[in-house]
Amino acid sequence: MQVLIDTNIYLNFYRMSDDSLKTLSELIKLLENEKFVLILPTQIRDEFNRRKYDVVNTEISNIYNTNKFNSISIPVLMRNSSKAKIVNSNLKTIKKLLENIVDEYRKRTISPNSQINKFINKIFKLAKIIEENESIFKKAKRRKIRGNPPQKNDDSIGDAIVWETILENCVNDDLNIISKDSDYCNCLNSGNLNAFLDDEWNNKSKCKIKLYKSLGSYINSFENKKIISEKSIIEEKSLNNVNNLPFSIPSQSVALSSDWNKEAAFDLNKAFSQNVWVDNAAANGSSNYIWKQCEMCGKNYLSFSYMFDDGKCNSCRNQKGFSGTYKWE
């Protein structure tokens, strides 16, 4: 028996509680006992490594962006009152606690020695790596041009590469796909595989194929007993795919534009996540960048504008281009 876990399933564990780590631990036990073969196309492995820090950055951004205390304004007439002083004191305490939460979250997700990274690395080592070839790339591009699933409403062919990899390498044994991605789901029954993909599989294989929406529910089904708690499964299922989260560079608004392309924007965000800044990249890519000081906390942040052309507007999907502003503390 074979199992394929979609990229978003792996990524979502960076957004879940510590209880969810039991799911990864149980997966490792099953792999070590050779209960099934975990299929890992290099497309999924590479996509995970590219996007892991995007997820971490988005979670950190959400902590600060949802902190409504940043927008509290006390009338000048009342700023010296005892109540205003209490409010300001409490705000400083809350902000300090938020900073501590962010620091702890970074340790638990970015550090190579963190439990989740140890688990993921172990899982990848136990998996069967499948390399793509030129034939798979050509078939994936043809699939995209024809509009056949699986695919997103953008120019990427990653999902198509994964599916073509499956059809070329995995048809001689039963396959269970674990994914919440709508590309794989039947539009009439989200618990079933997309009918088009199901037909393609059946034309190539006499083996069974099945779709699961969470890793926890699959493990319970495979073991035929409740190993993963219902709470963890509900948490896993409740998360949106990372594709549906805000764009990789989290803070966006209409602003000045430059001649950046999408790859440059992703590369820059990756540089930020690894605490690397290249001056000439900013000079070449940004029409306006400057270090500023936050009026609320006094911290410095980098502000610049960018624009890339992805062929379709993110809002109306019609006009070309997209522009935004990035703020990095």
| 98 token code pair | 């938020």
Does the pTM exceed 0.75? no
pLDDT of residue 127: 98
pLDDT digits (tens, 9 = 90+) for 93-124: 878 888 888 888 888 888 889 999 999 999 99
pLDDT of residue 215: 96
Domain 2-60+111-243, CATH class in plain words: alpha beta
State whether residue 224 is helix, strand or coil. Answer: coil
- CA nearest neighbour of 26 among 217, 247, 279: 217
pLDDT of residue 59: 85
pLDDT of residue 105: 87
| 149 token code pair | 């699933």
pLDDT of residue 135: 95
pLDDT of residue 314: 41
40 - beta bridge partners? 129
Cα–Cα distance, 88 to 18 (Å, whole number): 33
99-113 b/e (C-beta count within 10 Å ≥ 16 → b): eeeeeeeeebbbeee
Question: What are the CA-CA distances from residue 319 to residues 12, 53, 100 (Å)?
Answer: 32, 30, 43
pLDDT of residue 256: 30
pLDDT of residue 301: 52
60 in Cβ contact with 155 (< 8 Å): no
- CA nearest neighbour of 163 among 200, 211, 134, 192: 200
Domain ranges in the chain are 2-60+111-243, 262-328
pLDDT of residue 95: 80
Residue 1 has, within 13 A of its CA and on its CB side, a CA count of 12
As separate numbers, helices (DSSP H) first and strands (DSSP E) second, the chain gives 12, 8
pLDDT of residue 134: 95
Residue 187 has, within 13 A of its CA and on its CB side, a CA count of 3
| 163 token code pair | 């599916």
Point out the residues of the chain with pLDDT beneath 50: 243-264, 267, 270-289, 304-329
